[in-house]
Copies of this chain bind each other. A is one copy, B any other.
Amino acid sequence: MSLGAAKSKIKPALPSGFRDFSPVQVRRRREVFAKLSALFERFGYEPLETPAVELLSVLLGKYGEEGDKLLFRILNSGDFLAEVPEEARKQARTLLPYITEKALRYDLTVPMARWVAQHAGELVFPFKRYQIQPVWRADRPQRGRFREFYQCDVDIVGAEGILPLLEMIVIAREGLQTLGIKGAVLHLNHRFLLEEAARQASWRNSFAAFCSHIDKADKIGWEAVRNLFQAQQVILPPWLHPEENFSERVQKELLRLEIPEEEIEALRSEIEKPDEVLAVRWDSTLARGLEYYTGYVYEVRLPGSGIGSIAAGGAYGNLIADFGGPDLPAMGLSFGIERILTLLPESEERSPQAVLVAWIDASPTYIQKVVETLHAQGVAAFAYPSPRKLGKQLEYAQRRGLRWVAVVGKQEELHHQVQLKDLIQHTQQTYALSEVAAAFTR
């Protein structure tokens, strides 16, 4: 790196919507990611990481028209205008395909599907993977919404039905539990029920339009949604109501849709089970907008938290076949990890304790020897980097939250000793260098 001509001061700033994570924040995030990773591993999920950059041919058309616009596109390198016809340079829309062929990852599902399609031959199905990585969206930044944020996904490819669903519920439950969150509710539905409702209501428009109406309940409330349909002379079936939960008539509809009796029984037992971390309720009005779901859909909400869903997912098909891979059913759960992080208390975890070796007037060689000897005794330690007044060095230790300072001057060097100060007990004691570790094992 050369500073070259950059002699004038540069304003130190970040593009809007992007964040740094300070040491305290990194520790807290790592702790949460590690807890969830360990949970996923216990359920047999394996970690996958894909690059930040994907080909546009892989990404485009996967997230709807709006999503395509939100991709952060990467400008081709070199003389990117060389081959572009005059005509195409007139508008952004026509120029775009000539000057970009890559973009930043928009979610973790499409890259996973691409990877599974590429490696289907070597994988053991059902293939279970988890992935915790940042994604990028050129959304308008606002409070709590960022252009770079982490997603945290588990997916099982090559499985469908009740057991993967039960597993997703337990993962959500154990995930919240390990993070200390209580009182959440998982809303559960099956896309078949929504299709059936549209049929019973003699809906003539697209199913996507039906779902997009239903999806408004979150914002405008269910009564307003009903009225919206009524204004179009569409009468929704009476069992389609968020308060129905898993009523007899909802169960009857499911049976009619050929959901096996045994499966309905498992659902009923899950829904009736009281649980202080994560209760399950049936919600026939849960649509989860995304067109690509084909079976169960679910969304975890935390009543009274003022934030939207904290985890969500569903069963889907086709995604891997779209990339030329095998045609396998899949099911996934995505933790809204950035939202969840805002709910958690500040991490208690400080930087690990270490002994500060205060350099008074010993030789640098002896200071170094003290550090290495402590390390050899299994004690973390590092030296203050220059010989300054002891007061300054003690203040540094205090501000860094360090408890122990090993003061090392000419006297200590002469006698192969250190003077160990305990900043909490306000005591100090002289130790032979070879025996300092004893101070910490008492």
Q: Give the chain B neighbours of A42 by CB distance below 8 A.
A: 352, 354, 375, 380-382
Q: Known: A44-B400, A74-B73, A324-B11. Is A115-B20 also a contact (CB below 8 A)?
A: yes
CA distance A167 to B119 in the complex (A): 44
Residue pair A159, B64 in contact (C-beta under 8 Å):
no
**Residue A249 at the B interface, CB < 8 A?**
no
Taking a contact as CB atoms closer than 8 A, the residue among B2, B54, B126 that contacts A64 in the complex is B2
Residues of B within 8 Å of A60, CB to CB, are: 6
Closest to A395 in B: B124
Among A98-106, A215-223, A224-232, A417-425, the stretch in contact with B: A98-106
Among the stretches A238-246, A250-258, A261-269, A431-439, the one at the interface with B is A261-269
A99: chain B residues within 8 A (beta carbon)? 75
| A15 interfacial by beta-carbon distance below 8 Å | yes
How distant is the Cα of A266 from the Cα of B387 in the complex, in angstroms? 15
In the assembled complex, A166 has its CB within 8 A of some CB on chain B:
yes
Q: Are A51 and B18 in contact (CB under 8 A)?
A: yes
> Separation in Å of the A129 CB from the closest CB of chain B?
7
A262: nearest chain-B partner, CB-CB? B363
How far, in whole Å, are A60 and B101 apart by their CA atoms in the complex?
Answer: 23
Smallest distance from the beta carbon of A304 to chain B beta carbons, Å? 27
CA distance A134 to B50 in the complex (A): 12
Check if B14 sits within 8 Å of A170, measured CB to CB: no
How far is the CB of A71 from the nearest CB of chain B, in Å? 9
Given A2-B290, A12-B117, A290-B1, also A163-B21 (CB < 8 A): no
Judge whether A58 and B12 touch: CB under 8 Å. yes
Contact check, B107 vs A292: say whether CB atoms are below 8 A apart. no
Q: How far is the CA of A129 from the CA of B67 in the complex (A)?
A: 37
Given A19-B51, A51-B19, A64-B2, are A383 and B41 neighbors across the interface (CB < 8 Å)?
no
A104 to B103: give the CA distance in the assembly, Å.
11
User: From residue A148, how far is it (CB to closest CB) to chain B in Å?
Assistant: 5
Binds B, one of A79-87, A185-193, A197-205, A277-285: A79-87
Tell me the minimal C-beta distance from A303 to chain B in angstroms: 24
Q: Does A62 contact B (CB under 8 A)?
A: yes
Contact A170 B363 (CB under 8 A): no
Verify B26–A138 contact, CB threshold 8 A: no
B-side contacts of A4, CB under 8 Å: 61-62, 64-65, 291
Asked if A399 lies at the interface with its beta carbon under 8 angstroms from chain B, I say yes
- Interface pair B51/A14, CB less than 8 Å apart: yes
* Given contacts A163-B386, A375-B42, A368 and B170 within 8 Å (CB-CB): yes
Q: Decide yes or no: A318 and B12 within 8 Å by CB, A27-B47, A44-B354 being known contacts.
A: no
Interface status of A196 (Cβ within 8 A of chain B): no
Contacts of A95 in B (CB 8 A): 81
Q: Quick check: is A385 within 8 A (CB to CB) of the other chain?
A: yes
Known A47-B23, A81-B95; judge A1-B118 contact (CB<8 A).
no
Tell me, yes or no, whether A52 is within 8 Å of chain B by CB.
Answer: yes
**What's the Cα separation between A70 and B382 when bound, in Å?**
38
Give A163 to B290 CA distance when docked, in angstroms. 58
Complex CA gap A65/B4 in Å reads 9
Pairs A-B, 9 closest by C-beta atoms: A23-B46, A159-B385, A42-B380, A6-B61, A12-B323, A18-B51, A2-B291, A26-B47, A21-B49
19 new A-B contacts, CB < 8 A, other than A21-B49, A23-B46, are A1-B107, A2-B291, A4-B61, A4-B291, A9-B321, A10-B322, A11-B57, A12-B58, A12-B114, A12-B115, A12-B325, A13-B118, A20-B48, A20-B49, A23-B129, A72-B77, A124-B400, A162-B364, A163-B386
